[in-house]
Amino acid sequence: MHIDCLSNPGNQQVDVIISTVPWTDSAIPLMAPAVLKPIVEQAGMSCIAVDLNAEIFNATSTHPGKDHFINFFFHGVGHPDINDWLRDMVESVSQDMLSWQPKIIALSVFTHASRKMCEWTCYYIKKLSPDTKIVIGGAGCLEQFTGPSTFADDMINRGLVDYHVRGDGEHAFRQLLLGNTSYPGINSTTWKILTNEELDQLPYPDYTDYNFSQYSKKMMSIHGSRGCVRTCTFCDYITNWEKFQWRTGESIFKEMKFQYDKFGIRSFKFQDSLTNGNLKEFNKLIRLLAEYNQLNPQESFNWGGFYIFRNRSANDEEMWDIMAQSGAEFLTVGIENLNEDIRYAIGKKFSNESITFHLEQAQRCGIKLDLLFIVGYVNETQQHIDNAKAWLDRHVQYQDNLIISWGGTLAINPNTYLDKNSDQLGITRTGTLPQFWINTETGSTPVLRAKWAKELAEHSSQLGYCISDSLDTHWVLEQMIKTHE
Amino acid sequence: MNAVMIHDGKECPGFSVDLTLPTKLTLVVSGKNMKLDTKIDKDGKILEDLYIKIIGVTLDGFDPGVNFLHQKIKLVTQDGKVLTNPYLGFNGHVDFIMDQPTVFQQVMHWKNVA
């Protein structure tokens, strides 16, 4: 099988290959290889950095047996209609990687759905070339953000992988390349966080080896920060990234201009957990972009990303105007709950009045909002659900500008505030899934919460809101009902 | 009573073998005395038994899945009965038929049929 992104007709040699591992349903480039390529080159080594996922995702999407691939990528189970194709693909990927005679192959495991492919790719690489070092990293290696990685440990114990890098990989990966394999973040649960200055000074991601014709959207990923300014009680992201790290508005703007000059792409997706964590720098960025867009209407930039609502302040209307001029097209906002008391208990202290104001402004400015919710907070009751329905009834005028994600109800993940205070909050675990808990004080059970999630989805759908759905959500809700009824 | 697994003449709790696919691996259960090694009460209830239970099979580290253990391990007893179970409580043999040319194909085949 011909793997275009790894083809090596000139029999060239590189020191390092960095690749994404299928399977991620993404219309835009996955950025890890591009982020790490300049790190490798700064360490004095040569490198190709490819988005294998994009090529394999496209190939599986048009394959006659396309319906069977999910089962392979998620569970490692093949099907007679695709087994030969899969074997050929995994063998070809491994052979083509090794055709570059790399000393190191680094695989970015973005989600759990990349694990099976990672396992088989490593197996074939090690069979063909046992001395080639394999490094894995990415959120898909982790069961939870903190603590050991069962997956990575198993891969290392089986001799399929040599190193697992976690956290801000830029430090650790560089040290690994330089031979300092005891550096924090390499085969360890602790890692060294980048400072703001270091984050600002990182080289720009290098997408030279990406084939942009593979993507259905001409859009590039970008990072403006890591971590979060909030300390929400349910959040496990902040247990891993304990500090909020941010880049300056100028630095982000320069990168956008650089990438446009090099690749002709003017649409950007911010992969941060929030774009407006540092309001001062966010304001600088949107003003720089607005000014640029005004001067270059034929080459204007646009962008989208995660965003936090704050309580309304005096100059917010102007900020929404500037955001629109800066090219903001869509913002994903974690509202979490439509009841103020619950939202405040979560740690999101903005009022319902402020939500309405921001919805109005977004609609006025033509900026789409994707609203994320968590159903069934620890103290949530039927009255709160009824309040949420009433809120939806009262805000139908904004529905054309909104997408609503109700999600798979409250998950209590390890090391979060909720996890650490479970006893005080009256929470008892009823199984291994983080959604499996009861609150004896309020009578909240997995079955009840799954029922609420379905109720809210149905109610909002009937009112005409656009609802975002996922297989994961359905699976979780089904498990909550099946296991507890 | 203690059942022991013997591989290459030595007792072992588990074992690994080098194979070239396709091939067949046969596990033989022998030496069990059904009168002495299975104790039953007057109602026919088993009080004590001698058995080997297969708790896991992997091919180059790849697990064919839990269904494989329960659906594909077939003990052929000395009197020709076929018992589908990872619990081997009779003398007989289990054939692990690996008729695929590669580990990938064999693991997928096992997972497909299981």
* pTM of the predicted structure, to 2 decimals: 0.88
User: Would the CATH topology of A4-196 be identical to that of A199-484?
Assistant: no
A93/B contact by beta carbon, under 8 A: no
- Other C-beta atoms lying within 10 Å of the C-beta of residue A454: 14
* Mean pLDDT, range A299-326, rounded to an integer: 96
Q: What is the number of structural domains in chain B? A: 1
Min Cα–Cα distance to chain B from A93, Å: 14
For Cα atoms A68, A74, A78, give the angle at the middle one, nearest 5 degrees: 40
Distance CA B106, CA B15 (A): 19
CATH 3.40.50.970 fits A199-484, yes or no: no
A418 contact partners, CB below 8 Å, separation of at least 6? A233, A234, A378, A410, A412, A425, A427
Query: A52-62 vs A83-98: helix axis angle to the nearest 10?
Result: 160
Overall average pLDDT of the A52-73 stretch: 92
Q: CA of A57 to nearest chain B CA: how many angstroms apart? A: 20
Nearest one of A280, A265, A272 to A307, comparing CA atoms: A272
Of A78, A91, A119, the CB nearest to B112: A78
Q: Between A75 and B59, whose confidence is greater?
A: B59
The structural domains of chain A, with segments of one domain joined by +, span: 4-196, 199-484
Residue A316 pLDDT grade (very low, low, confident, very high; cuts 50, 70, 90): very high
Q: How confident is the model at residue A459 (pLDDT cuts 50, 70, 90)?
A: very high
Contact indicator for A168, A185 with CB cutoff of 8 Å: yes
Higher-confidence position of B114 and A113: A113
ipTM: 0.82
pLDDT, average across residues A127-134: 98
How many pairs of residues across A and B have Cβ atoms under 8 Å apart? 33
Summarize the confidence of residues A380-404 as an average pLDDT: 97
Which has the closest alpha carbon to A283: A309, A315, A312?
A315
CB pair distance less than 8 Å for B111 and A120: no
How do strand A402-405 and strand A466-467 relate by DSSP bridges? parallel
Name the DSSP letter for residue A315: T
In chain B, which residues have their Cβ closer than 8 Å to the Cβ of A87? 102, 104-105, 108
Q: Per the domain annotation, does B5 fall within a domain?
A: no
Superfamily of domain covering A4-196: Cobalamin-binding domain (3.40.50.280)
Rounded to the nearest integer, the mean pLDDT of chain A is 94
Could you tell me if residue B108 is inside a domain? yes
**Cβ-based contacts of B65 with chain A (< 8 Å):** 77
pLDDT in the model for residue A9: 95
Name the percent of chain B lying above pLDDT 70.
94
Distance CA A97, CA A93 (A): 6
Closest CA–CA distance from residue A136 to any residue of chain B (Å) = 18
Chain A contact for B112 (CB, 8 A cutoff) = yes
Q: Does residue B3 lie within any of the structural domains? A: no
pLDDT of residue A375: 97
Instruction: Check whether B114 has a pLDDT greater than 70.
Output: no
> What was the pLDDT predicted at B49?
86
Those residues whose C-beta lies under 8 Å from the C-beta of residue B61, and which sit 6 or more positions away, are A123, A158, A160
**What's the mean pLDDT in B13-40?**
89
